[in-house]
Amino acid sequence: MLIMKILQQTIKAMNSEKSNSMIEINKYIDHTILKATATEEDIIGLCQEAREYKFFSVCVNSGFVRLAKKNLAGSQVKVCTVVGFPLGAMSKEAKIFETKQAIKDGAEEIDMVINIGQLKSKNLKYVEEEIAAIKNVVGDKVLKVIIETCYLTPQEILIASEIAVKAKTDFVKTSTGFGTGGAKMEDIEQMKKAVNGKAKIKASGGIKNLDTALSFIEAGVDRIGASSGVSIVKELKK
């Protein structure tokens, strides 16, 4: 009887831990769909899933911000959108316009892609001024700066992250998910050194299961961008 009681208590504790983990991990996830073929029906479905699983936000292309906002009305789920996505190579003025329109349409968080070519050309002032200009438009809403780590050397990751912090970003983000690679633990470590607690970190790209998501959270990541948010949460129920 004693052994059975201990076993029951252990199972109860494990179930409680899983439940708490699910609630916690939900708060980390930006539930994402950014593919070119996403339809209105896909966006509505994304929002329904975000409501059901109580994700932190949905992340959609800027043309779908208004639709997402409408379908999340009355919920706690925020609307996040991308700017200058996925290459980051358009003009600063184009990014500023896209940001203004996205906020007008209801976006609460902006994930912008830096001009990677300008960074690699060592035009660091340009990169900083572009981020600062967009943060000026974003104001007290959240700005996440995507540095696209797969194209950068470790030193460039440090430099890009430092520039983003200097320009007052709220987050530095690893990837678009459309480059040659996604989030890597060694990149997170470089970013952590650079931001030094002055900005949060978002990992995205290739995060498709619970173990990977938890490993990034344990490494100090504050947000996760994933199109596999539902399957990640469902793993906790198994």
218 touches 196 (CB < 8 A):
no
Among 95, 170, 173, 187, the active-site one is 173
* Token reading at 130: 């572009």
What rounded mean pLDDT belongs to the chain? 92
Among 9-13, 24-28, 181-185, top mean pLDDT goes to: 181-185
Among 105, 111, 170, 187, the active-site one is 111
Is a pLDDT exceeding 80 seen at residue 8?
A: no
Residue 17 has what pLDDT?
45
Is a pLDDT exceeding 70 seen at residue 10?
A: no
Q: What is the mean pLDDT of residues 5-19?
A: 41
173 touches 197 (CB < 8 A):
no
* Token reading at 4: 């059975």
Is a pLDDT exceeding 50 seen at residue 7?
A: no
Buried b (16+ CB within 10 A) or exposed e, 36-70: eebeeeebeebbebbbebebbbbbbbbebbbbbbe
Is a pLDDT exceeding 70 seen at residue 22?
A: no
Is a pLDDT exceeding 90 seen at residue 113?
A: yes
Question: Is 173 a catalytic site residue?
Answer: yes
pLDDT band at 109 (very low <50, low <70, confident <90, very high): very high
Q: What is the mean pLDDT of residues 30-38?
A: 98
CATH superfamily of 2-235: Aldolase class I (3.20.20.70)
Question: Is 111 a catalytic site residue?
Answer: yes
pLDDT more than 70, % of the chain = 90
Is a pLDDT exceeding 50 seen at residue 1?
A: no
Residue 95 has what pLDDT?
98
Is a pLDDT exceeding 50 seen at residue 14?
A: no
Q: What is the mean pLDDT of residues 117-144?
A: 98
Is the entire prediction scored with pTM above 0.75? yes
Each domain of the chain, given as residue ranges in start order, spans 2-235
Q: What is the mean pLDDT of residues 168-192?
A: 98
Q: Which one, of 141, 228, 135, 128, lies nearest residue 177 by Cα?
A: 228
Residue 236 has what pLDDT?
81
